[in-house]
Structure 1
Amino acid sequence: MGTPTAAVGQVESCPECGTGMAVHRGYVTWCASCDWNVDPGTSEPAAGRVEALRRRLAGRHGRRLFEEMTGGVDPRPHRDTSSVLAYLVALAVHGSTVVLAAAGSTLIVAGWETVSQPVLGAVLLLLAVTVRPRTARLPDDVPVLSRDEAPRLFALVDEVAAAVGTTGVHRVVVVPDANASVGTYGLRGRRVLRIGLGLWEILTPAQRVALLGHELGHYAHGDTRHSRVVGTALRTLAVLVHVLTPDPPDGLLERVAVSTLLAPRAAALGLLSVLDHLTLRASQRAEYLADAAAGRVASTAAVVELMDRLLVSDTVGDKLRRESVLAQTRIGGIRPRDAEDGLWERLAAQTGAVPAREYERLRRAGERRGHSADSTHPPTHLRRRHLAEGAPCPARVTCDESASLAIAAELAPARAAIARRVIRDYAG
């Protein structure tokens, strides 16, 4: 399981313009002059109706929002007309769920002497239970850390949170993904930070502070789509559209049954479209504001570096799967236990070997894809430009070597548990 080399093997001529192209073994060969092969074999990811709708909306407003943000915007949280309307639509969605439950219960109780009414009532009641608002719960299959278990990590989170103008979290959940996020759990809405080791382990200490600043910045500036009222309404409508989308009908009776779902499905999809339209812009704006908050905390340079790391984070899953496959097939005589040891160090070394030319290719490819890869976030190249073109900020919070070592020691049991899970489960 050696680290991929970034050494230049040779120089080839571009088949389009004839310019010399440096060839890095293990990476895409492309032309910096004409962008030949800059995004090879990549087409827009397949998407269902809901995601396709979100991408169209994101693309329509994304460039305009970027221009507004680079022109200067009040960073303080606010409630504009779209946000107010989104809350009203979300309340209507939750009210409809209550109506479904009430109607179903009434039909079951009042129409007990008939056959059809209780059956219809049971269907309505089941549908209400299916689409009911749900509060998130802490997972029970991955490590969940408390303040007592990771005091130095929580101290860093608290310091970053104070710097962005908010408070810390109650729990930290450690997962294998190359991602990070914040959210709430339980009826009391306690705060939780999710750290994906696939991302955390490929970052420098300064970049980790930038990551924390960005995620905690969502608490400070608000994000309508992740609020308890609107967020649960979006999930309710998405579930409802899924439930009302049947498999292709087979036979006349199934066609008739499916036809009865067309109207309610269209209504649910229409409401989801409206709610998406009202909140996507605010969601993307929240990303820019979270980036700005991270820049004020960790320095602009650290956040720009974080953006570049995010460009290669998509390959982390493939690297982890490869590690799992090699260990489980014992290619090269490597046993699963041996593969678990040093997994995160190997991942960091592989990422550190990525040449600057590959980062440039990924930035250019991202410009071509725009919002097609992710509808809820602005494209990474626009987020990077927004930071790079603004006034540079120095770091207000740092994580020195002693703090980094202390946090690594606190995360050691979680790192080992997640490494074991990756090696034994990722191949499947």
Structure 2
Amino acid sequence: MRTAEEEIVSSCPRCGVEIRTDRRFTTWCTACDWNVDPVGPGEEKRGLSRVRRRIAQRYGELLFTELRAGSSGGRKGAGLLAYAIALAVHGLTCVLAAVGVWGLIAGWGGLGMVFGLFFLAMAWSLRPRLNRLSDDDRVLLRDEAPELYALIDEIAAAQGTRGVDAVVVDVQANASVTHLGLRRRLLTLGLPLWEVLSPQQRIALLGHELGHFTHGDTRYGMVVGTAFRTLGTWLQYLRPIPNPNVIHALTNLACIPLRLLVTAVVTLLDLLTAPSSQRGEYLADAASARTGSTEGAAGLMDRLLVADSIGTTLNREVNSRRMHGRGTTAGQDSEGLWEALAAHMDSIPESEYERQRRVGALRGHSVDASHPPTHLRRRLLLDGPPVPALVTADAGRSERIAGELAGLRGTLAREVVRDGYGDL
């Protein structure tokens, strides 16, 4: 909670209304929005990132209007065309492989083999790649966290789907789901985000992520999703060579038409899959509210709006612990890190949440280029009748889950203090 020392009382220079705010956060006026966004939107991203953001905002607004009016119309034609383009992308990879094999056979023993090996190497790097766990992933298996998996299974059953096969815990202020291989499911849980949520907000978070399995999304399906990755690899190969000499400059010029073509295909796929992806996010939000309650889902979105404070707080804590040498070992220095983060997030005043909501509406804020604007997601939830939670977690259940995460909490806290938050 805010202390008397942290409170500032002043008058708005624009409308004269009394302003009460926390000295740790931006001073602004709730009556006329003076200084609500002192930094401004900043320089907008360029190129493909800018296009994707605009597509996401455009379809997010259109779908908000449709869903608010009760429309559930689909765009099956766009999805089929996206699959056709994705198959063509993978077909080109097969052609490269075939040309490589032909080059090896036809040029056996000569320079033709170099030609063939080059095309085979290209095809191998562009192949469709299924997701898999890496050696660095912190995997929490079912027998190591039965209570957490039981909660996930209960939320999944409430949505008419099944749970996950593996949980990876990392230090990102985020959470996501994806497929492993052909059939297995993976949940990635960002510990910094998990630590700053209430029990019902955590259920809402799990409900949102599992909701993606309930509703199809062609952008992240096996065929289209791997096509996006292949096109991304193409763009890496075709990016301009920095500080070019004469030969490099000529190479850059020669690659421009192909780079523009690949960019156009990516943009077209974005346009075709954006409605499905945006709709999937809104439907996942509805699933979040059903399992964790409307209040829990809306609270989760508010936490996401101030997610930048998570990184700022962790970096401040890391610097403080390093400077003051709170312990003789990294383990002692990391003690209480997550508790300090949660305490700071709990102390954020409602005025700062409201400011962030208004800034989000002004900038069209979204979690990333695949999500609709956050303020529209929150508004769609709150415009409907309040939904009670289908799944709850009492104090005992929350403590048992915390016990299952205790080992990873300590390990990740030590890594954050040792390596710094932004470097992980």
TM-score normalized by structure 1?
A: 0.92
Asked if the contact 2:175/2:189 (under 8 Å) is kept, the reply is yes
Letter of the structure 2 residue corresponding to residue 18 of structure 1: G
Letter of the structure 2 residue corresponding to residue 272 of structure 1: V
Deviation at 1:26, TM superposition (A): 0.7
For 1:36, what is the secondary structure of its paired residue? coil
Aligned to 2:210: 216
Aligned to 1:107: 103
Aligned to 1:14: 12
Asked if the contact 1:44/1:373 (under 8 Å) is kept, the reply is no
Aligned to 1:63: 61
408, 412, 415: which is aligned to 1:418?
412
127, 133, 154: which is aligned to 1:132?
127
Tell me how far apart the structure 1 counterparts of residues 230 and 239 of structure 2 sit (CA, whole Å).
14
For 2:167, what is the secondary structure of its paired residue? strand
Residue 52 of structure 2 corresponds to residue 83 of structure 1: no
Letter of the structure 2 residue corresponding to residue 206 of structure 1: Q
Residue 160 of structure 2 corresponds to residue 165 of structure 1: yes
1:167-246 alignment to 2 at 5 Å? 167-186=162-181, 188-246=182-240
Tell me how far apart the structure 1 counterparts of residues 49 and 138 of structure 2 sit (CA, whole Å).
31
Asked if the contact 1:297/1:396 (under 8 Å) is kept, the reply is yes
Aligned to 1:268: 262
6, 13, 30: which is aligned to 1:32?
30
Deviation at 1:286, TM superposition (A): 0.5
For 1:360, what is the secondary structure of its paired residue? helix
Tell me how far apart the structure 2 counterparts of residues 109 and 328 of structure 1 sit (CA, whole Å).
61
Asked if the contact 1:184/1:191 (under 8 Å) is kept, the reply is yes
Residue 380 of structure 2 corresponds to residue 363 of structure 1: no
153-162 or 316-325, which moves further after superposition? Answer: 316-325
Q: Cα RMSD (Å) of the superposition?
A: 2.2
Aligned to 1:154: 149
78, 86, 90: which is aligned to 1:94?
90
Residue 305 of structure 2 corresponds to residue 311 of structure 1: yes
Asked if the contact 1:178/1:316 (under 8 Å) is kept, the reply is yes
Number of matched residues? Answer: 422
Q: Which runs of 5+ in 1 are unaligned?
A: none
User: Identity percentage over the alignment?
Assistant: 48
Letter of the structure 1 residue corresponding to residue 389 of structure 2: A
332, 336, 341: which is aligned to 1:342?
336
Q: 1:373 to 1:49 in 2, by over 3 A?
A: farther
Q: Which runs of 5+ in 2 are unaligned?
A: none
Q: 1:424 to 1:352 in 2, by over 3 A?
A: same
Letter of the structure 1 residue corresponding to residue 253 of structure 2: S
1:251-400 alignment to 2 at 5 Å? 251-330=245-324, 336-371=330-365, 374-400=368-394
Deviation at 1:393, TM superposition (A): 1.1
Asked if the contact 2:66/2:72 (under 8 Å) is kept, the reply is no
Q: 1:372 to 1:400 in 2, by over 3 A?
A: closer
TM-score normalized by structure 2?
A: 0.93
Tell me how far apart the structure 2 counterparts of residues 133 and 221 of structure 1 sit (CA, whole Å).
23
302-311 or 371-380, which moves further after superposition? Answer: 371-380
Tell me how far apart the structure 2 counterparts of residues 398 and 184 of structure 1 sit (CA, whole Å).
26
Deviation at 1:246, TM superposition (A): 2.1
Asked if the contact 1:44/1:369 (under 8 Å) is kept, the reply is no
123, 137, 141: which is aligned to 2:136?
141
